[in-house]
Amino acid sequence: MIVLTAQIASRHDRSFFWLASFGLVVHWLGDSLDGSLARFRKIERPKYGYFLDHTVDAFCNFMIMLGFGLTLYIRMDVALFALVGYFLLCIFVFINNHISGSMQLSFIGFGPTELRICLIAINAGMYFGGRAGIPLGDQFFSYYDGVLLFAGTAFVGIYLLQMAKGIRALRKSA
């Protein structure tokens, strides 16, 4: 909620991008430490933890990208396209985990941590660069839109490649 609120507030003062970036760090810490803390305390509940972790992550990721789409610098359709691409990869990860027992969270060297760093970099770009981009017809397309459009397209492409690879492997083993 910190990220969403700060991104909305950035419409009035770009300094709120720093609070949004802080919120991404808080989100990363919470997401990274919850399972480790449960294991350390010896209070693991694998099914409950898996369910809670991934459903809360999905909601938080939606709120984060909703916030990006509500800034003055990123189009909502582009922010949500990037989110859909990310969710496709998440769905692949969950299905692959169910079938193979392998939880692959990173693709081409990028995982959730690197993606948060990229979002922080976009916040910094919006703070320092302001509304930078080009008009396309009667629409304005920011450079940040370009970055998220590229990311969303890459996510969808990786999903399709991984899906095809998984289908081939399952077809051979069936």
Task: Look up tokens 């990721």; give the residue.
Answer: 61
Q: Confirm if 80 and 151 have CB atoms less than 8 A apart.
A: no
pLDDT per position as a tens digit, 55-80? 999 999 999 999 999 999 999 999 99
Helices then strands, each counted (H, E), the chain: 6, 2
Give the domains, in start order, of the chain with CATH numbers: 2-173 (1.20.120.1760)
DSSP 24-59: HHHHHHHHHHHHHHHHHHT---HHHHHHHHHHHHHH
pLDDT per position as a tens digit, 1-53? 899 999 999 999 999 999 999 999 999 998 877 777 777 777 878 788 888 88
Please state the three-class secondary structure of 89-158 as a single string: HHHHHHHHHHHHCCCCCCECCECHHHHHHHHHHHHHHHHHHCCCEEEECCEEEEHHHHHHHHHHHHHHHH
